[in-house]
Amino acid sequence: MSRHSLASRHFSQNLAFTVFRLIMLTVLAALGGILLYVFIHGISAISWEFLTAEPTNSMTTGGIFPAIMGTLYLTVGAILVALPLGVAAAIYLSEYATDGRTLRIVRLGIQNLAGVPSVVFGLFGLALFVGYFHLGISIAAGSLTLGLLILPTIIGASEEALRQVPSTFREASLGLGATRWQTIRKVVLPAALPGILTGSILGIGRAAGETAPIMFTAATFYTIGLPRSPLDTVMALPYHIYVLATAGTHIEQTRPLQYGTVLVLISMVLGLSLVAIIIRTRMRKTKQW
């Protein structure tokens, strides 16, 4: 170090930090560029009719209402599956588990579940829910598959939220004579609720954007009207984009519809993420402990 003058050491520092800054700008430019490009090309397709009408003329005109509703059904179903299971698992991890072999196995299971590729979840859903449970290609099968896919997200966020509740809360409650379950139900869970909510919203966003898991378990190219039961197939926004962009004879002709659908999907998913991030930031600022 002594070989270099202070000035040259500061010069190399400035150089390195500038490189880091440029890298960050590149990453932001990628995000901004994609959002801007999709917005500019998609906004002209968006109209009240586009959002509320059904596709017409073999998908070349009309709206995407059934796809929006389909994505809504699938994500609501997914969160109904994942939220109770995920919060229960998080309660185990944060309130009941003690260090040791059991906990290591459970953590390894969750970590690996989080790393399973989405298309493998699709295969699994096809084999288990569509085939073995005879649900067929349906909203039910797709929701269950998506629910399992987002389970690790929900567990992770809920556990973090539970752990952030100060142990003095628990001690005060236990000290007053409440049982452990009463403490969890009346003290810990309410305090952790905003964090759990944030995690759920992120999970919903993830489920809404996934394509591969629903390709063989729930989604279909076109339905007449809206699905009438959980055992019906559905249209879904991500699958709609994929099909319009890759299949069929009108790929160029439906380009505006494709951009419009992408814009709707991005607005839904990023909107949800943004809401979650804002709730989290607010929570950190106003938290009283």
Partner 1 sequence: MLQIPEAQVIVGDNAPPVAVAPLTKRKVTSTVQEARIRRVFVVSGFFSVIIMGLIVLFLFKEGLGLFSTVSVKDFLFGEFWYPTYDPADFGILPLIAGSMAVTVISSAIAVPLGVGAALYLGEVAGHRTREILKPAVELLASLPSVVLGFVGMVVIAPLMQQWWDIPTGLNILNASMMLAIMAIPTIASISEDALHAVPKDLVEASLALGATRLETLTRVIIPGAISGMGTGVILGMSRAMGETMVVLMVAGGAAQIPTSIFESVRPLPATIAAEMGETPFGSEHYHALFAIGIVLFLLTMGFNLVAAYISRRFHQKGAATL
CA–CA separation, 130 vs 268, rounded Å?
A: 28
Residue 257 within binding range of partner 1, rule CB under 8 A = no
CA–CA separation, 224 vs 55, rounded Å?
A: 9
Nearer to partner 1, 28 or 43 (CB): 28
Per CB under 8 A, contacts with partner 1 among 182-241 are: 202, 205-206, 208-212, 215-216, 238-239, 241
Q: Which residues pair with 201 in a beta bridge?
A: none
Stretch that binds partner 1, among 49-57, 101-109, 162-170, 223-231 (CB under 8 A): 101-109
Nearer to partner 1, 152 or 227 (CB): 152
Residue 80 within binding range of partner 1, rule CB under 8 A = no
Q: How far apart are the first and last CA of the chain?
A: 45
Residue 111 within binding range of partner 1, rule CB under 8 A = yes
Stretch that binds partner 1, among 54-62, 86-94, 192-200, 222-230 (CB under 8 A): 86-94
Stretch that binds partner 1, among 34-42, 54-62, 189-197, 222-230 (CB under 8 A): 34-42
Stretch that binds partner 1, among 16-24, 49-57, 61-69, 188-196 (CB under 8 A): 16-24
Q: Binding partner 1 by CB under 8 A: which of 88, 172, 176, 193?
A: 88
Whether 156 and 111 have beta carbons less than 8 Å apart is answered as: no
Q: Which amino acid is at 187?
A: V
The token pair that represents 88 in the structure block: 């229960």
100: left (phi over 0), alpha (psi -120 to 50) or beta: left
Stretch that binds partner 1, among 51-59, 163-171, 188-196, 271-279 (CB under 8 A): 271-279
Torsion of CA 154, 234, 67, 74, to 10 degrees: -10
Whether 81 and 150 have beta carbons less than 8 Å apart is answered as: no
Nearer to partner 1, 228 or 270 (CB): 270
Residue 46 within binding range of partner 1, rule CB under 8 A = no
Query: Helical H runs in 126-232?
Result: 139-163, 167-175, 180-183, 189-209, 212-215
Per CB under 8 A, contacts with partner 1 among 122-151 are: 122-124, 126-128, 131-132, 148, 151
Nearer to partner 1, 31 or 228 (CB): 31
Nearer to partner 1, 9 or 186 (CB): 9
Residue 79, SS3 per DSSP: helix
Nearer to partner 1, 26 or 228 (CB): 26
Q: Which amino acid is at 214?
A: I
Nearer to partner 1, 155 or 197 (CB): 155
Shortest Å distance, C-beta 234 to partner 1: 16
CA–CA separation, 20 vs 56, rounded Å?
A: 50
- Residue whose structure tokens are 């989604």: 219
**110, 121, 102: which is closest to 160 by C-alpha?**
110
Residues in binding contact with partner 1, number by CB under 8 A: 86
